[in-house]
A and B are shown apart, each in its own frame.
Chain A
Amino acid sequence: MAATAQASTLTPVPQVVAHRVEREERGFLSWLTTTDHKKIGIMYLVSTFAFFIVGGIEALLMRLQLAQPSNDLLTPQTYNQLFTMHGTTMVFLFVVPVVAGFGNYFVPLMIGARDMAFPKLNALSFWLLTAGGLVFYASIFFDAPECGWTCYSPLSDDTYLPSGGVDAWIFLIHLTGLGSLVGSINFYATIANMRAPGMGWGRLPLFVWTILTYSVLLILSLPVVAAGVTLLLADRHWGTNFYDAANGGSPMLWQHLFWFFGHPEVYIMVLPTFGILSEVLPVFARKPIFGYKAVAASTIVIAFLGLLVWAHHMFTTPSPSIVLVFFMMSSFLIAVPTGVKIFNWIATLWRGTIHYTTALLFSVGFVGTFVLGGITGIFLATFPIDWQLHDTYFVVAHFHYTLMGGAVFGIFAGLYYWFPKMTGRMMHEGMGKASFWFMFIGFHTTFLVQHSAGLEGMPRRIYEYADIGNLATLNLISTIGAFTIAFGVLLSMINVLRSLKTGAVAGPDPWKANTLEWFVPSPPPKNNFDVIPRIRSVEPMKDIRREVLAQSRVPAGAAAGAAGDEG
């Protein structure tokens, strides 16, 4: 007892402390009732990965249908339902909440806090997400929505889609949106108030910077889409005409409201995975991040500009020239901070000693893939070119390059990087690398050719296409690629399940990492930290390791004296 009381006044030295004096709660009920940020984080990760697999299966069904021209494997209705479910699942039930999962688990650990600011609200966020997912997937037992993840009005109006599927979609937006909103406020409060002593804004880990930005973006954009879908609900059931042109409403209003949320949403999805990269790359290059301030600042600049580019999704609508020009220029601008990040990551690798772990492979794969997604974004931002490319497979390829080759690779990097911390066990590296290569090669096989399909005139969201040009070949290649990705994902999932039981024991800091989560045992005890170390740089663990090294050089007599003091 005396030792722990005194330790807070001593310099931060890793020490053996008796944990688990209290028996840890176990069993099903402990998960349902938990307010522990780590357990909630795990529940987020497990449920979102489950949705990822469901969304992936939906994608595979679509790719099967498109494997050959004029295929009749699926009905047009089923096909439309599948792409609606796939898009909605991946956006609202996978990428956004999986990031919340990592954030929940690691933000308190990285900033040296013992839990989130509002643990009960934190549990509420998770259960709202689950409720949203259940309500949405319940629609497959009556009529799933078939209006795409954008649900453009008037198609989503009750005149054209009277079934309850669109309503289920609306409630999904409401429930997951409310969950994210509560979660974001929680993240913001936690990061603003609960940082370890000495952790000024200039020493905040870059992943935490991105979670902070993610939260602010969610707080700014979610209320808009919540209002948007509420108006849609009113139009559908209570006789209002917000989006009905024949009665003084406007279908363009829906598009503006939706994309005012929808484009920040893209950055909401990708920024935290940028953050994961900014943690993983320095650790495995054994170098500090190149230009910490620039990387952190570019996150904020991207978020700010991300709020000003929404109408680049609407270049083909009847809009005035000035609108087109403005949104082209703002979309161009966003390439600058994104380019800064990419160059800073490459510079971080430069003259490092790169250790090829799976997490690093996924990170480098992310950078290489995301570059192409960014470049095709420039084509789409140039509005006269967008007139040709909009709503074609070129766009499908573009956003999968950013969201799958980007965000999903980043999420997998995070999974491989943090799995030892969450479970106390290492993942199998060989299997992980095999998984990466299948996913990486499968990804490019699937989506590179889709650029060409779009350029040849293949629109998105069509359940069949005629055998003209090279469409048959391109689509077949794409389908083969999709199954290659699926195999890669399967390998990782098997890897997770087997490593839980048989993985090598990780210890607190298997990667020799930089941030504070590696200070505590793996998995961390319920209270996270017995002693919260004082932070003196962006890389507190480096300082701590150095100090341990210095102390181990202390003559034996002095060490004995110190021990005597404690006694």
Chain B
Amino acid sequence: MTSRRLFLALLAVLAGALALAPVASADLLTPESGGSSNADDIDTLYKYVLVVAAVVFFVVEGLLIYATIRFRARKGAVASQVRGNTRLEVGWTVGAAIILVILATLTFIKLDEIRNPPDSSPEGLQLADTSRRLPPSGKSLNICVNGQQYLWRYTYADDCENADNVDAVFSYEEMVVPTETTVTLDIYSQDVVHSWWIPKLGGKFDAVPGYSNHTWFKVPAKYGEKPGGTVFFGQCAELCGQNHANMTARVRAVSPAEFERWYEQRRRDIQAARRAQAQAQQTQSESGAAAGSDES
């Protein structure tokens, strides 16, 4: 009875393993990547850990399954009354520790590439020096990412503290960036905690009120080749209220030339809108003043 059940269990495991094969090829076992080198490096680090993990997994589960089948109660079988084996126990304690040392070392090796942005490529957008120290050249396109229930606002400015005061270009929900250019993000929140995450462009970083958080990405040229560029999708990853699920974010990567056209157009549109608004306010206050003088 029990052996049949175990056989069925084994069969299920086998079926599972077979099902996993296509799953693995469909990238169901690794994180999203491809849009930026830090996302690729995280993916690589993940794969290192996955290899180690797979070995540990199959060894441990193998031993467990073997033990449960091989040592089931049989007629005449006598359980060995062993109470321990210090050498063996020290062995697997040290073994586990060594595996973790290896994983920690791999992490530290990849860490710099993941954390520190590289310079923009020569074919990328050439930018003036910024105050940001992140890439070695000191040059990056800095965007202030401001999370608010339930959308993201992007301001193209170096000084995010005063981003709203200066005449900076901004947009909502869709961020447009040039390819081959190092884009640094300063992430803020103006209400509750949000989390900025575009899976293909690297890890997520929380937007916490009162704090600034930082990340970067650099999109390869191939994504900006066709007009209109490529859109990378993401969404808020920290519960921020009822419509948390609808707080989506898009990053559209375009060629540097196209980006400059977009940026210029956007700047002019915003200026025009501001002028129109100022004019409307002026006429309003003038008519208000006129009305006031009438009354007096």
Closest CB in chain A relative to B232 CB, distance in Å: 10
- Which of B28, B97, B246 lies in contact with A456, CB distance below 8 A? B28
Does A423 sit within 8 A of B, measured CB to CB? no
CA–CA, A80 and B192, complex, Å: 16
Q: Is the interface of B mostly helix, strand, loop or mixed?
A: mixed
| A316-B195 in contact (CB<8A) | yes
| B84-A290 in contact (CB<8A) | yes
Does B10 sit within 8 A of A, measured CB to CB? no
CA–CA, A391 and B64, complex, Å: 31
| B245-A351 in contact (CB<8A) | no
Which residue of the partner chain A has the closest CB to B73? A353
Closest CB in chain A relative to B55 CB, distance in Å: 10
Does A524 sit within 8 A of B, measured CB to CB? no
Number of interface residues of B (CB under 8 A): 89
Given contacts A155-B193, A378-B53, A379-B46, contact A351 B234 (CB under 8 A): no
- Which of A286, A289, A293, A316 lies in contact with B204, CB distance below 8 A? A316
Contacts of B166 in A (CB 8 A): none
| B67-A391 in contact (CB<8A) | no
Given contacts A318-B213, A346-B67, contact A382 B81 (CB under 8 A): no
Which residue of the partner chain A has the closest CB to B202? A387
CA–CA, A342 and B114, complex, Å: 34
CA–CA, A160 and B197, complex, Å: 23
- Which of B53, B92, B238 lies in contact with A391, CB distance below 8 A? B238
- Which of B60, B68, B104 lies in contact with A332, CB distance below 8 A? B104
Contacts of B115 in A (CB 8 A): 321, 384
Interface residues of A in 397-443 (CB under 8 A from B): 433, 437, 441
| A457-B209 in contact (CB<8A) | no
Does A223 sit within 8 A of B, measured CB to CB? no
Per-residue interface assignment for chain A, residues 125 to 149, with 1 indicating a CB less than 8 Å from any chain B CB and 0 otherwise = 0000000000000000000001110
| A336-B53 in contact (CB<8A) | no
Interface residues of B in 82-113 (CB under 8 A from A): 82-85, 88-89, 92-93, 96-97, 100, 103-104, 107, 110-111
Binds B, one of A92-100, A196-204, A262-270, A368-376: A368-376
CA–CA, A347 and B27, complex, Å: 36
Contacts of A289 in B (CB 8 A): 83
- Which of B29, B49, B67, B241 lies in contact with A350, CB distance below 8 A? B67
Per-residue interface assignment for chain B, residues 190 to 211, with 1 indicating a CB less than 8 Å from any chain A CB and 0 otherwise = 0111010101001111101111
Given contacts A245-B210, A250-B210, A384-B107, contact A470 B114 (CB under 8 A): no
Contacts of B28 in A (CB 8 A): 452, 455-456, 470
| B49-A353 in contact (CB<8A) | no
Which interface residue of B12, B103, B210, B239 has the most chain A CB atoms within 10 A? B239
CA–CA, A146 and B240, complex, Å: 10
Given contacts A384-B107, A452-B23, contact A457 B32 (CB under 8 A): yes
Does A224 sit within 8 A of B, measured CB to CB? no
Given contacts A384-B110, A385-B49, A470-B26, contact A459 B197 (CB under 8 A): yes
| A351-B80 in contact (CB<8A) | yes
Contacts of A77 in B (CB 8 A): 242
Q: List 15 A-B contacts (CB under 8 A).
A: A77-B242, A152-B239, A160-B149, A251-B210, A318-B211, A351-B71, A353-B73, A356-B72, A379-B49, A385-B42, A387-B204, A388-B202, A452-B23, A459-B197, A461-B239
The 5 nearest A-B residue pairs measured at CB:
A387-B203, A245-B210, A462-B245, A452-B28, A291-B84
